[in-house]
Amino acid sequence: MATASPERGISRDWFFTKGGTCRPGRVVIRHRLGRGTRCAVLALLCLAVFAPSAAQSAEPTWLVGTGTGVTAARALHGERIAPGIRVIRGTAASARRLSRMPGVRFVERNRRYSASSITAPSDPLYGRQWALRSTRVRAAWLATLGDGVPVAVLDSGLDLSNPDLAGNVWTNPDEIAGNGVDDDGNGFIDDVHGADTVGQDGDPSDGLGHGTAVASVIGARGDNGFGLSGMAWDASLMPVKVLHDQGWGTTGTLIAGLRYALDEGARIVNMSVNGPEQSQALAEAIAQAEARGVLVVTSAGNDGKNRDRVASYPASERSRTVITVASATRRGGLARGSAFGRASVDIAAPGDDVITSDLGGRFTRRAGTSFAAAYVTGAAALLAAAHPEASGSRLRAALVASARRGGRVDAQIAGGQLDAAAALRRLGRLRPR
C-alpha cells in the first residue's frame, strides 16, 4: 500500500476532522500526505478505520483533504480551522489509532483556554483571597466586572489616594473641583468625589480605615498588578463619610448620607453600621431608596445576638430593598460574633480573616459583618451592571434565592451563602461580555 512520505512528493497539508465545529473535548489532528493515489488510498484507509457502524452512526469520523480524495472529505462536512489543522469528534481510542497512521504528525485534545485577566488577575494578593473563591465571583466576572455602577459606601470615608481604589472613585459630573462653590446646589461645596455629612463638606477622606477596607472588598481595582481584587473591579465607588474618625455617627449623619447617595444616583448603598434603636426618619429614608429602586446592603452586627429577638438598625428594617448579611467562615459556619436570625438575616458572606486594603495602601486582615456586607454589595453591583433595569428589590430577591445551601450557617439565617455566579444566572445572564 502506498503511504504518505515526508521525504518525497509532499504537496500540501491534509487534515482529519471528526465533528463539524471546533469545541473543547474534540480531537485536533494534523498530518501530511503526498499526491495522487497515496491520498486516495489513505482516505479509504481512514474511512475504514473510523467509519461508524450503524450503532455508532451518531459519531461519524471524517477525513478532510484538499487534493485527490477531496470529494470524500467534503462529504464528511469537516471544519478547517487553520492551514494544516482540522477538528474531529472522536474517542480517545480512535485518536490513538489515528496518531499511529502514516503521515499524521500529532493528535491532541482540543483543550479549553480562558482569558487570564478574567480568571487569574495579576493582583499579588489574589491567591490569598479565599472569599472570592467562596463567592464564585470568577464565573460572574465572565459576564460583567461592574461597568461603572455607582455604589455608595456610607462609612468612615475613603482614602482617595489609595492606589488600589483611586481608579474606581466616583466623580460628581456637576461639580467643579477647587472653585469653592457648590456648583450643583446639593449643599456640599466641592464634593467632587463624595461628601462628608459629619463635617458637612465635600471631603470624604477616611481617618479611621474602616470605610477604605469596606470599599476595597467591594471594588478594589482588579488585574492591575497591585494589592488585591475587589468583587466588582469596575464599579464606581461613591464615598459618603457618615462616621467620625473614632468610628461613630448619628441618625442624622446616616440619613443625610443616604439622601446624598440617592440624589447622586447610587444604585447600591452599603451601610456597614449598626445601632440599637429604630428611627422613623431612617425608615423613611430607606423607603425612599426602595421607591427609587436602590438596594441597601446592611451588616447584621457583631454582637452575636439573634436578630429575631434583639433588633439592630438599619439591619432590622423591614423593607424589600434591604438585605441583611451575616458573617461566614471559610468552612461555611457562622463566624464568631456574627449576629444571626432565621427570620431577620437574609444571607451570609465571607467575613472572617478577609484581606482588605487600608490607609496608605497597606493591607490588613479583618473580620466582621461589615466586610460580609461588602461582599454582597460587590455581587449586587455585578448584578446591577448586567441588569440595569432591575430594581433593588429584584436584586435582593435574586441574591437571596440563589444563595448556596447546605452549609452549617443555613440553620441560623433565612438564606444560604452568597453565590455571585448563581445570582447572575438567576437574573438570566451569565455569559461572556
- Catalytic sites, residue numbers: 155, 210, 370
C-alpha cell at 261: 447617595
Distance CA 433, CA 430 (A): 9
Please compute, for residue 31, the number of CA atoms within 13 A of its CA located in the half-sphere on the CB side: 27
The grid cell for 57 is 452512526
Separation CA 251–CA 161 (nearest Å)? 29
Could you give the CA distance from residue 411 to residue 88 in angstroms, rounded to a whole number? 50
Residue 173 in grid coordinates: 459630573
Q: What is the largest CA-CA distance in the chain?
A: 92
CA atoms of 119 and 138, how far apart (whole Å): 6
In whole angstroms, what is the distance from residue 151 CA to residue 174 CA? 18
Burial of 53 (0-12, 13-18, 19+ CB in 10 A): exposed
Sign (positive or negative) of CA dihedral 111, 116, 121, 122? positive
| Residue 331, C-alpha cell as written in the block | 468552612
> What are 418's three cell numbers?
452568597
Degrees, nearest 5: CA angle 412-414-420: 105
Please answer whether residues 202 and 123 qualify as being in contact, where contact means their C-beta atoms are separated by less than 8 angstroms: no
Residue with cell 455617627: 249
